[in-house]
Structure 1
Amino acid sequence: TNMLERGSQEVVLNDISASTGVLLVDYLYSGNIDITQLNAQDLLAASEMLLLGALKKKSEDFLLSHTDSVNCISIINLARLYDLKILLADARNYSKTPLTRI
């Protein structure tokens, strides 16, 4: 294409940290990625920005398995931001669950 980056030796990806960038390059070459609670949100943002639908789905699946009554409001906001309907419905269910006292 006629994009500016065509002749560049280096491409700058704004808003993607170096650690997330390394994970993305490994993922693009291998198809494997280690999603953790520390990187899930960054990977979701990067997958949205770079139009990586399969990675976006993997990130959503990870968040589905890590949603609880403590983080459900944050997950609701994240799901709304990235239009993740299944995650949004799941997190809303947690927000309706009565909290138990410790």
Structure 2
Amino acid sequence: DPAGGAVDDVAPWTWAGLDTAGETNATATQLADGVTYFVTVRAVALGGARVAVTSDGVTVDTSPPVGGAVRDVAGTDDPALWCDLFATLDACEIPDGAGDLLSQPNAHTLA
């Protein structure tokens, strides 16, 4: 864990060969929801020098997004409500149920 936390499960190194233009796949099973996983790639030179680079991590999210609500906000001055700044709308989507931050929508479409 690059963040300094405990390391619970470490997969062994996988040999990728000498073909730098190719690709190597590794399959990870039983990844847990909400857990951040990291990948480290290590290069070994012919003389034995080693260089490793670690990803910034990817967090598994298997839960569906929490639905929001559409409310009529015409005429309100509440700065907490967000709308598309480039459109004049009588209704804006307000993300309710913001308990699941990983599954929160990052874009909204109004019709």
* TM-score normalised to structure 1 length: 0.29
Structure richer in helix, relative to its length:
1
Structure richer in strand, relative to its length:
2
Between structure 1 and structure 2, the one with the greater Rg is 2
